[in-house]
A and B are shown apart, each in its own frame.
Chain A
Amino acid sequence: MNSSFQKKSLGSKIFDCANVGFMLLFSVLMIYPFLNLLALSLNDGADAARGGIFLWPRMFSIDAYSFMLHENKLFSGFGISILRVLVGTTTCVMATGLLAYISTVRHFSGRKLMRIMFLMTMYISGGLIPTYLLIVKLGLINSFHVYWIPSLLNAYYMLIMASYMQNLPESLFESARIDGANELGIYFRIVMPISLPVFASIAVFSSVGHWNSWFDVVLYNSNGHWDTLQVYLRKLLLEVESFEEIKNQQIAQSKFRTLSPVTLRAAVTMVVTLPIVFIYPFLQKYFVGGITLGAVKG
């Protein structure tokens, strides 16, 4: 938000330097664990159990990665994850955006009703069992649709989007209505383009949510046909079910023998995180760096 036509004051320059310095320090703090995991993931598994690996692998090995790659379920899982993110995010962002829009139309008498109805869902839920039974009754079990239909509308996203849309000038919509535009048209042609930053940030939230979620997959799609990348990798990491419960030490021993090493855990984190980090800049450009909206707002 700075143009250089004005000469900067000294104070402003000091502020800039301090700010850059702070950011550099801050990013070291933020990125260190990531580098640590990278080093771990590239280390030999047995050796890593001895600890003491920080920024550089001690015994270099790509076993953890090749272990993940040796089954083609990794690739099918990756495909399903992408499909889920694409379908889940587009539907969620568009539908929730529309909900947010109608909940900001000032002359709409159902505005408050809609807001309260959705706000309540953020605090009150029926719990796991009723929800599970509902999904079963709706026939969404063992299908791809369970990935996007139950997450179509989101109250939290609605409130964030609405708080952005509230700041838009009402006159824009009024003139469009006078010109005979219908509400859907206004939403698609006016609201969406000028609300790109908030749509992009909600898209980030939603896609990361879809990308990371695993519980609904193991719960509703337990037949394995729709396993996402997260679930495939989680299965590799599956820890022994509550160690303390295993009283039979013979069983405990055989479970511990197959326990995945820390290196695999680290490699899984890398594989899961990197794709989403790479697509992030494409959405980020809409809310970082600023775009001139003057032209649209007119």
Chain B
Amino acid sequence: MKKTLMVVLALMLVLSTLAACSKNNNGGNEAQATPTATESASTDPVAQSNEFGWELPKKTIEFSYYAGQANPDKAEKNAKQLQQYILDKFNVKINKLVYDVKRDERQNLMLVSNDYPEVIAGMDEATVSKWVAQGKAIELGQFIDKYAPHIKEQLGDLYKTYLTDGKLYALPSYWGLLPIPDYAAHMRYDYLNELGNPTFETADQFYDILKQMQAKHPKNDKGEKTYALSAYAPVTTNTVPTLAGIWGLKEGYKVTPEGVMTHWVNTPEGLELTKFMNKIFRDGLLDPDSFINKYENMKAKMSTDRVMGYVGAWWIGWNAGHELWQKADTKWTEDKRFMQYALKAPNAEHSYMSGKNARSGNMTIITDKAKNPEDIVKWLDFSMTDIGTRLIGWGVPNTDKSTWKFEKDQPSFVDAAKQAILDSTFDYDAGELIGMDQLNLVSPDGTMKDDGKSTYWYDQNFNEEAKWKKMLNDNLKDTIYDNTFGNIPILANNPLAVTDKQITDLLETLWSKAVMSKTEEESVANFKAMQDKLNAAGLNKIEQFKSEEYQRRLKDWK
């Protein structure tokens, strides 16, 4: 025993020494890495502009930014080429930091340990105000006029919406209006063709057709029962806002021109859509697991021909539909897919299915760790320009793997990459490797100002030529609306945050009861009971807060 003990003790000693040594080694490596950076700085002393119109700094501008929760290894690999390109062409060194920890948690630990990088991206506005209150976010307004000529010009009317008491602390990323739809009512395109392509406009007609499809295909080829409609939890977030749009509500709220907002639960339209869902349930044609399904469960059902349609985000139909069939089903034909449609209730003025928030909620701040914030602002300014947005969105140009070219001050698409998008054979992993959408600090994802049509998302640039995307856009173009004013999230620093959370929790539970009622009377009674409970829990206060904020925005932002 004594011998074993000695061996174990010796082993421990050796191991911990090893551990300590290798730690030092790593420290050494880091120390070595820094001088090379300064070296490259000193080799580039000439002040001139590059082809992007960027005035080359004499000294390398270097900063790190925290980008949220992700796989650090992958983020490093994906950002590498673009980082090198930006260093070579712009003399700007950007280090992207991501950690495998929840964003909020990491940000809080940064605050408590006073250890954070020069720039933080992807904050919500509540977090921004927390950092501002502690004096850790630098006021950017002071630099805008002097160093950033493009920022005000690009943001236009939006600029003032980011000011608090006339001061600017944060700039948005992924902002701007992209007039392509997000949400729709979906049904199986091949089955619709089987029925002779009948037209439909209202939710009831839509359901009627789903019902006919289901009657024609009551079981899939494995003999499992099929459903007209499916959903996944939480249904009140994933499906209801779109459904309510059919009845003329905006993201679940009825908004008057004066800016009074009413939650769908307190509207007659809310009762209508509940009855609509309840009817499907009573017919036995609503997936009974709708409120239990996780996304992967719904995906399994959709991909095995058990679901005729759903209401929600368009890409779900792609991800859980033909993108999968394409790979796994040898007999797949291109008509077998979910197609997007606009619906409008008969008494609704207009159908509002995709609300767009031009302001975006992802904010970027420069912290007090930045020694030369004006240099960073210069880079932000560039990456907000149209050409800067292309670079950040589409990745490194002019290489054999690039998706775009930048020659003689003119950007153009690489034909092969464009064709790959049209054929749905584009390799997104390779796209990430050349830096597509990897270093977005303040770039917009709306339409670009210079040509009025290009957009940050490479694959959304050819929608007119892509058959299915064009159908999607044509079907839905009237249902897209600007909801920048109505997008009023209740953030963590709001005293109503707890109430809001309670209501979100209750809403899903109570609404599932109303939908899954055995008779229509019972459903209506459950709906009324839900109304009472939610209002007692403070839904009215939420409505009041939102209305006041909406009216303030109408006054201040117009």
Query: Which residues of chain A have a CB within 8 Å of any CB of chain B?
Result: 44, 46-47, 49-52, 59, 71, 73, 83, 86-87, 90-91, 94, 128-129, 132-133, 136, 142-145, 188-189, 192-193, 218-219, 222-225, 231-232, 234-236, 238, 241, 243-244, 247-254, 256-258, 262
**Which interface residue of A87, A142, A236, A253 has the most chain B CB atoms within 10 A?**
A253
Chain B residue, CB-CB nearest to A222: B99
Interface contact A145-B100, CB-CB below 8 Å:
no
Interface contact B99-A253, CB-CB below 8 Å:
no
Q: Which residues of B contact A244 (CB under 8 A)?
A: 234, 237
Bound-state Cα–Cα, A244 to B239, Å: 12
Interface contact B19-A83, CB-CB below 8 Å:
yes
Q: Which of A50, A91, A143, A254 contacts B324 (CB 8 A)?
A: A50
Interface contact A241-B103, CB-CB below 8 Å:
yes
A54 CB to nearest chain B CB (Å): 13
Interface contact A52-B328, CB-CB below 8 Å:
no
User: Given A145-B19, A243-B295, is A238 in contact with B327 using a C-beta cutoff of 8 Å?
Assistant: no
CB under 8 Å from chain A, chain B span 77-117: 99-103, 105, 108-109, 112-113, 115
Bound-state Cα–Cα, A235 to B100, Å: 7
B528 CB to nearest chain A CB (Å): 27
Interface contact A46-B327, CB-CB below 8 Å:
yes
Q: Which of A49, A91, A250 contacts B299 (CB 8 A)?
A: A49
Q: Which residues of A contact B178 (CB under 8 A)?
A: 250
Q: Which of A46, A132, A250 contacts B109 (CB 8 A)?
A: A132
B468 CB to nearest chain A CB (Å): 14
Interface contact A50-B428, CB-CB below 8 Å:
no
User: Given A193-B1, A257-B319, is A222 in contact with B327 using a C-beta cutoff of 8 Å?
Assistant: no
Q: Is B361 an interface residue (CB 8 A)?
A: yes
Bound-state Cα–Cα, A95 to B8, Å: 13
A116 CB to nearest chain B CB (Å): 30
Q: Which residues of A contact B320 (CB under 8 A)?
A: 49
Interface contact B296-A133, CB-CB below 8 Å:
no
A146 CB to nearest chain B CB (Å): 10
Interface contact B113-A132, CB-CB below 8 Å:
yes
Q: Which residues of A contact B386 (CB under 8 A)?
A: none
Closest 5 CB pairs of A and B: A51-B300, A144-B19, A249-B182, A253-B315, A235-B71
B105 CB to nearest chain A CB (Å): 8
Bound-state Cα–Cα, A90 to B304, Å: 51
Bound-state Cα–Cα, A247 to B483, Å: 12
Q: Is B69 an interface residue (CB 8 A)?
A: yes
Interface contact B304-A247, CB-CB below 8 Å:
no
CB under 8 Å from chain A, chain B span 217-274: 222, 234, 237
Interface contact A249-B315, CB-CB below 8 Å:
yes
Bound-state Cα–Cα, A50 to B222, Å: 12
Interface contact A87-B300, CB-CB below 8 Å:
no
Interface contact B70-A238, CB-CB below 8 Å:
yes
Interface contact B23-A144, CB-CB below 8 Å:
yes
A149 CB to nearest chain B CB (Å): 10
Q: Is B118 an interface residue (CB 8 A)?
A: no
Q: Which residues of B contact A90 (CB under 8 A)?
A: 8, 11-12
Q: Which residues of A contact B362 (CB under 8 A)?
A: 248
Mostly, the A contact residues are helix
Interface contact A218-B428, CB-CB below 8 Å:
no
User: Given A46-B324, A144-B19, A241-B68, is A248 in contact with B174 using a C-beta cutoff of 8 Å?
Assistant: yes
What are 26 A-B residue pairs whose CB atoms fall within 8 Å in the complex?
A49-B303, A50-B324, A51-B304, A129-B112, A133-B112, A136-B115, A143-B20, A143-B23, A144-B16, A222-B99, A222-B100, A224-B73, A225-B22, A238-B71, A241-B102, A247-B361, A247-B487, A249-B182, A250-B178, A250-B460, A252-B313, A253-B318, A254-B437, A257-B428, A258-B429, A262-B296
Q: Which residues of A contact B12 (CB under 8 A)?
A: 87, 90-91
Known contacts A243-B295, A253-B319; 13 further A-B pairs (Cβ under 8 A): A49-B296, A86-B15, A90-B8, A90-B11, A145-B16, A145-B20, A218-B101, A222-B101, A225-B23, A235-B74, A241-B102, A247-B357, A258-B428
Interface contact A188-B11, CB-CB below 8 Å:
no
Interface contact A133-B113, CB-CB below 8 Å:
yes
Contact with A along B159-190 (1 / 0, CB 8 A): 00000000000000010001000110000000
A292 CB to nearest chain B CB (Å): 17
Q: Is B555 an interface residue (CB 8 A)?
A: no
B145 CB to nearest chain A CB (Å): 30
User: Given A44-B328, A129-B109, A188-B1, is A238 in contact with B100 using a C-beta cutoff of 8 Å?
Assistant: yes
Bound-state Cα–Cα, A241 to B299, Å: 19
Q: Which of A236, A243, A257 contacts B71 (CB 8 A)?
A: A236
Q: Is B346 an interface residue (CB 8 A)?
A: no
Interface contact A224-B361, CB-CB below 8 Å:
no
Q: Is B457 an interface residue (CB 8 A)?
A: yes
Bound-state Cα–Cα, A46 to B323, Å: 9
Interface contact A136-B174, CB-CB below 8 Å:
no
Q: Which residues of A contact B487 (CB under 8 A)?
A: 247
Q: Which residues of A contact B237 (CB under 8 A)?
A: 244
B26 CB to nearest chain A CB (Å): 5
Q: Which of B11, B105, B303, B319 contacts A86 (CB 8 A)?
A: B11
Bound-state Cα–Cα, A33 to B513, Å: 32
Bound-state Cα–Cα, A54 to B335, Å: 31
Q: Is B371 an interface residue (CB 8 A)?
A: no
CB under 8 Å from chain A, chain B span 312-344: 313-315, 318-320, 324, 327-328
Chain A residue, CB-CB nearest to B316: A256
Interface contact A136-B457, CB-CB below 8 Å:
no
A284 CB to nearest chain B CB (Å): 19
Bound-state Cα–Cα, A9 to B11, Å: 52
Q: Which residues of A contact B33 (CB under 8 A)?
A: none
Bound-state Cα–Cα, A46 to B10, Å: 50
B224 CB to nearest chain A CB (Å): 9
Q: Which of A47, A52, A247, A256 contacts B222 (CB 8 A)?
A: A52
B482 CB to nearest chain A CB (Å): 14
Chain A residue, CB-CB nearest to B74: A235
Chain A residue, CB-CB nearest to B1: A193
B299 CB to nearest chain A CB (Å): 6
Q: Is B499 an interface residue (CB 8 A)?
A: no
Bound-state Cα–Cα, A245 to B142, Å: 32
Q: Is B360 an interface residue (CB 8 A)?
A: yes
Bound-state Cα–Cα, A219 to B105, Å: 10
Q: Is B408 an interface residue (CB 8 A)?
A: no
